[in-house]
Chains A and B, each alone.
Chain A
Amino acid sequence: MKLDVRLPIGMMFTLLGAILVVYGLVSDRAIYARSLGINVNLWWGLVLLAFGAVMLAFALRFRRRAVMPPE
């Protein structure tokens, strides 16, 4: 692959996850009335962060392997 598609995906979801987690921590609890009282921004932000990190890990591992000469 010319560009590992997992790299931008990992970057985007890590960023989006971070935005949501931070917002979940600082936002007013009142906005969670519609999401049944659950701070979904925080929890789903963590899910996105985890997904993004896994994608990044795959992309970086692949890249390191591609850079190293075959034994």
Chain B
Amino acid sequence: MHIQLGAIDYAILIVYFAFVLGIGWALRRFIKSGDDFFLSGRAIPAWVAGLAFMSANLGAQEVIGMGASGAKYGMMTSHFYWLGAIPAMVFVGIFMMPFYYGSRARSVPEYLKLRFDEKTRGFNAITFAVMTVFSSGISMYALSKLLELILGWDFNASILVSAAIVLVYIFLGGLTSAIYNEVLQFFLIVLGFLPLILLGLKDVGGWAGLTAKLQTVATQAGFAPGAWSSSWRHLSNAHANPMGVEWFGLVMGLGFVLSFGYWCTDFLVVQRAMAANSMSAARRTPLLAAIPKMLFPFLVILPGMIAIALHVTRGGLLPIGADGTPNYNLAVPVMLGHYLPTGLLGLGLTALMASFMSGMAGNVTAFNTVWTYDIYQSYIRPGQSDKHYLRMGQAATVFGILLSVAAAYVTTRFNNIMDMLQLVFAFVNAPLFATFLLGMFWRRTTGHGAFFGLLIGTGVAALHNGLVLPLGDVPGIKGGFLGTVLHTYPSEMAQNFWTAIFAWTACFVATIVISLLTKRNKSDEELKGLVYALTPRLKDRESPWYKQPATLGVIVLGLTVVLNVIFW
């Protein structure tokens, strides 16, 4: 069954394409130096950087994956926001941004070079570049597969068109173009999906009607009636909730390691804050981003929950996959076709397109910067003119996108995109947060400690994953690839969380031990501005209290606690 689009839907899509390309075109004359292309000349106001900060992360995994998880796991999916993202965003704004922005590093790997040494930077730059290309490929794959499935569009044509548009607007306008478009895309995503939520909620009888229907979903799946509509209540035992996790694995694995690892060290998001026009704006960027982020579960998780409620109580809304379970990834697109008439349907699909593009653009701008500054300038052709590196950045935009297209064709194995991304992040990002934490707050951490700690952490992640398996899976890419299975987790999610916990702990301990055994390679003087104890305190008091990052952070955290309590 394909959703039929009318001329009006295509008109809306074309208006959107015209505007994203137009923004790139309008910004092209401002691109004169490498700084303009890679860092927006550090001239972006806080609110723009903040919306871009959240929008860059709003790719395939967010709209489709969160909707899918909302259907599969219910309200517990909100932990990705209210337990994971928000506290981490507050932490990066208040505690880490002073070092990122203050050090004038142009990228996260470059910070590692300043703080530790060349090899740590090289390791991070290369793993990050690979991961970024894959993330972007996953987005593209997901988008094109969806469009093929729901609209009957040609898979190859969708991949090439979406890639070409992102390519053109970044090539022309660099990071500024990506950021401006991310802000536009942010509003489009909100205004495109909101009618879906309003209609869906009206249809199921509001929150009360939805929870009543979700009780049927939960009992049919063999859980307590509230399992789909509460976030914390069924976490005492991994077998009592659809996600298959218990509170410790969730809080430590998702809340602490994975979320802090992602939001605090992933250059994709940090780059937006680095482009801010002042230290204060850079620190407020993640905090301002946290405010809409906090409300996003209602926009991206609710459609999935409504979809599963209708699927179970009214029968057969979601297509059934080959393994007999509903195809959760289709929850959001099916809902679009279910409620939106032609006209608004075009807007909804454009919003979906916008989310994929913002995510992809985030990956591409992060990739071209890391490639140009941290790989090309450092190891391949150092000492060239700024113009040369600017050209390289534009070339990297082209081949970065070509590599992503290649990656898109490789990505076909996982049922839930989110699980795969979590797995990749677990291997690479989980140990990284231990390195940053020690690097920023313990001056004794050495270059050797950081580098070998990271290697050991990543190795432990792979080792752990190779020796365990999610329930009901056969050894292979999902785990158990080392031959023996020592432990079986109730779900893939639980396994990912524990992989992250093991990786982080291994890196943390190894970095401390190796640092104590090796000589310091940076003096206190060199570490000024890079380590907490050696950096002069920022004088927040100069700005009015309501503009201070700490005030904003406290407000954001307070509201998050309230949300957790309401949906307990």
Q: Chain A's nearest CB lies how many Å from the CB of B31?
A: 10
Task: Select from chain A the residue with minimum beta-carbon distance to B350.
Answer: A16
Contact B195 A12 (CB under 8 A): no
Contact A34 B347 (CB under 8 A): no
Task: Select from chain A the residue with minimum beta-carbon distance to B337.
Answer: A34
Contact A12 B184 (CB under 8 A): yes
Alpha-carbon distance A40/B192, docked complex (angstroms): 12
Chain A residues positioned under 8 Å from B206 (CB to CB): none
Contact B343 A24 (CB under 8 A): yes
Contact B338 A34 (CB under 8 A): yes
Q: Bin the interface of chain A by size.
A: 20 to 34
Given A5-B183, A41-B343, residue A47 in contact with residue B191 (CB < 8 A): yes
Chain A residues positioned under 8 Å from B19 (CB to CB): 8, 11-12
Alpha-carbon distance A1/B217, docked complex (angstroms): 51
Contact of B342 among A2, A11, A16, A31 (CB under 8 A): A31
Given A40-B344, A51-B191, residue A2 in contact with residue B23 (CB < 8 A): no
Interface of chain B, main secondary structure: helix
Given A12-B19, A16-B12, residue A41 in contact with residue B344 (CB < 8 A): yes
Chain A residues positioned under 8 Å from B23 (CB to CB): 3, 8
Q: Chain A's nearest CB lies how many Å from the CB of B510?
A: 45
Contact A35 B180 (CB under 8 A): no
Against B, the Cβ 8 Å flags (1 = close, 0 = not) of A6-44 are 001101110110011001100100011011101011001
Contact A13 B191 (CB under 8 A): yes
Q: Chain A's nearest CB lies how many Å from the CB of B28?
A: 11
Alpha-carbon distance A32/B15, docked complex (angstroms): 23
Contact B11 A31 (CB under 8 A): no
Among residues 18 to 39 in chain B, which have CB atoms less than 8 Å away from a CB atom of chain A? 19, 22-23, 26-27, 30
Task: Select from chain A the residue with minimum beta-carbon distance to B27.
Answer: A3
Chain B residues positioned under 8 Å from A40 (CB to CB): 195, 199, 340-341, 343-344
Alpha-carbon distance A31/B358, docked complex (angstroms): 31
Contact of B15 among A9, A12, A36, A38 (CB under 8 A): A12
- List of 4 A-B pairs having minimum Cβ-Cβ separation, nearest first: A41-B343, A31-B341, A12-B19, A5-B180
User: What are 23 A-B pairs with beta-carbon distances under 8 A?
Assistant: A1-B43, A2-B176, A8-B19, A8-B22, A8-B180, A8-B184, A16-B15, A19-B11, A19-B12, A20-B347, A24-B343, A27-B342, A31-B341, A31-B342, A34-B341, A36-B202, A36-B203, A40-B199, A40-B341, A40-B344, A41-B343, A41-B344, A51-B191
Using CB atoms and an 8 Å cutoff, list the residues of chain B in contact with chain A: 8, 11-12, 15-16, 19, 22-23, 26-27, 30, 43, 45, 48, 176, 180, 183-184, 187-188, 191, 195, 199, 202-203, 338-344, 347
